[in-house]
Amino acid sequence: MKFLSEYRDQKAAEQLAQAIRKKVTRPWTIMEICGGQTHTIVKSGLEDLLPREITLVHGPGCPVCVTPIELIDKAVAIAQRPEVIFCSFGDMLRVPGSSRSLFDVKAEGADVRIVYSPLDALKLAKTNPERQVVFFAVGFETTAPANAMAAWQADHDHVENFSLLVSHVLVPPAMEALLSSDSCVVQGFLAAGHVCTVMGYEEYIPIAARYQVPIVVTGFEPLDILEGIHMTVSQLEEGRHEVENQYSRAVRREGNRPAQERIAEVFEITPRQWRGLGEIPASGFQLRGRFQKYDANRRFPFSGEPAHESPECIAGLILQGLKKPHDCPAFAVKCTPENPLGAPMVSSEGACAAYYHYGRRQTHDVHSELPSPASR
Amino acid sequence: MCLAVPGRVVEIIDAGDIAFRRAKVDFGGVRKEINLAYTPEAEVGKYVLVHVGFAISVIDEAEAQRVFQYLEELGALKEELGEIPQ
């Protein structure tokens, strides 16, 4: 397909890898933010093309992975109500809650449906006026314009039986949370290309300056990733810390203004809990003003048991780039995509799922002196 | 979840309010109806980047060639094509 296949050319990838090898004089640790980028890296074996000096660590950009377990429990409870059609992107279904997943309750008869777009869920609400249709609105900035439009169209068309269970998160506050941590190992970032397609990249400029860290907006195909690494390494070797745009075919400096305007009309900034990372201030969206009538949190009050995580899962360390999936004793043994202990093994963007599916299982500690998960 | 795929606009369906503007978009032979509210500049024949049913960007075709121009500058592709003496 045009604008995809040409960015997968093996010879061009080898040439870019060679250009990276020529640049590198010492070790550097680079984090790719987005789980989609992680999958390209692992699936295409890009780490094997890179010089030993470059360590790639995988970031928190997997919305399924960072959606808090309390919200999964809430989704499961709402989905079990007889009047509800619960709609979600497919990735969320197998994510384990405290005791069950959406997939488990679907198997028991709950009306849980996988949809491609939030507009499909809105359409279901229009064609099933006697039912309550709830859409699980998770995602980063990339998905916010779609979810904002679903709420806006529901309001415009006076659809009363539609609501959103919102768990929207934002990339820049998570980057700042990582960078301000004492244990941060990241020296350069590949920023998430599609997040920047929507939001632009001006908000990264103060982060690059404050933490003296290069940030390169990067696409998702193998050549994109390699060029992004080359640009990041060039900055590191030259002592620069700027925001650059590798993914210029899709990302403009100012982002997508009409999308940003719709987001600002429908959502407001809120603190959010991130699974594995804890609460980060001003790191998410919630419905604002007249759109709060579409908030499933308000429509379906929930008082469940306190949520509990598997004590064996080290997802928090993996999402911060402090550990790699194969550093986890449960990886591919007690934790598999069929029986996951944590969300990164479930999602098509989760680092653990990528390592499992593409057979990357050798042990390689990012920082062997880090404390064990039990002591953190 | 942030996956987005480029497709070619083949037909635009105006629906009054810009919020409902749609297009038939071709993804390598598969056609889907896509919301165009966020890409008012999209035209028939252009490529749009599509995420969960919405076009979020129009692909800049000149910028899309940039990495290949860069590789050419490295002399890499020319060598591969045997255009310059080894």
Q: Is residue B86 included in any domain, yes or no? A: no
Query: Given strand A215-218, what is the order of strands in its sheet?
Result: A54-61, A28-34, A188-192, A215-218, A243-245
For chain A, say whether B30 makes contact (Cβ under 8 Å): no
Test mutation, A64, A89, A249, chain B, max B CBs within 10 A: A249
What are the mean pLDDT values of chain A's consecutive 10-residue runs (376 residues total)? Answer: 85 92 96 93 93 94 89 95 96 89 96 97 98 97 98 98 97 95 94 98 98 97 96 98 97 98 98 90 97 96 79 88 91 90 85 87 46 37
Which chain A residue lies closest to B63 (C-alpha atoms)? A249
pLDDT band at B72 (very low <50, low <70, confident <90, very high): confident
Res B80: pLDDT: 54
Return the number of other C-beta atoms located less than 10 Å from residue A180's C-beta. 10
Whole-angstrom distance, CA of residue A189 vs CA of residue A193: 12
Which of A2, A35, A252 shows the shortest C-beta gap to B6? Answer: A2
Minimal Cα–Cα distance from B60 to chain A, Å?
5
pLDDT digits 0-9 by tens, B38-53: 999 999 999 999 999 9
pLDDT of residue A91: 87
Distance (Å) from the alpha carbon of A159 to chain B's nearest alpha carbon: 15
**Helix or strand holding residue A293 (H, E):** none
Model pLDDT, residue A369: 38
Confidence at residue A362, expressed as pLDDT on a 0 to 100 scale: 56
CA-based end-to-end distance of chain A: 46
Q: B78 pLDDT exceeds 80?
A: no
What pLDDT was estimated at residue B85? 41
**Which domain does B22 fall in, by range?**
5-80
Handedness of CA A145, A189, A18, A253 (dihedral sign): positive
ipTM for the whole complex: 0.90
Is B85 among the domain residues? Answer: no
Query: So what's the pLDDT on residue A364?
Result: 46
pLDDT at B79 over 70: no
Residue of chain A minimizing CA distance to B68: A12
Q: Are B19 and A149 a contacting pair at CB < 8 A?
A: yes
Residue that has been written with the tokens 């899309």 in this structure: B64
The whole-angstrom distance between residue A341's C-alpha and the CA centroid of its chain comes to 18
| Number of folded domains that form chain B | 1
- The C-alpha torsion from A85 through A89 and A90 to A94, rounded to 10°, is -80
Nearest CA in chain A to B58: A250
- B53 shares contact with chain A (CB less than 8 Å): yes
Do the chains contact at B17 and A156, CB–CB below 8 Å? yes
pLDDT at A131: 98
Contact partners, residue A182, CB within 8 Å, separation at least 6? none
Q: Which residues of B touch A37 (CB under 8 A)?
A: none
Give A5-59+172-245's CATH code, choosing from 3.40.50.11750, 2.60.120.10, 1.10.10.1100, 3.40.190.10. 3.40.50.11750
Domain A65-170+255-299, CATH number (from 1.10.3370.10, 1.10.3720.10, 3.40.50.620, 3.40.50.11740): 3.40.50.11740
Residue ranges of chain A assigned to CATH 3.40.50.11740 = 65-170+255-299
The end-to-end CA distance of chain B, in Å, is 45
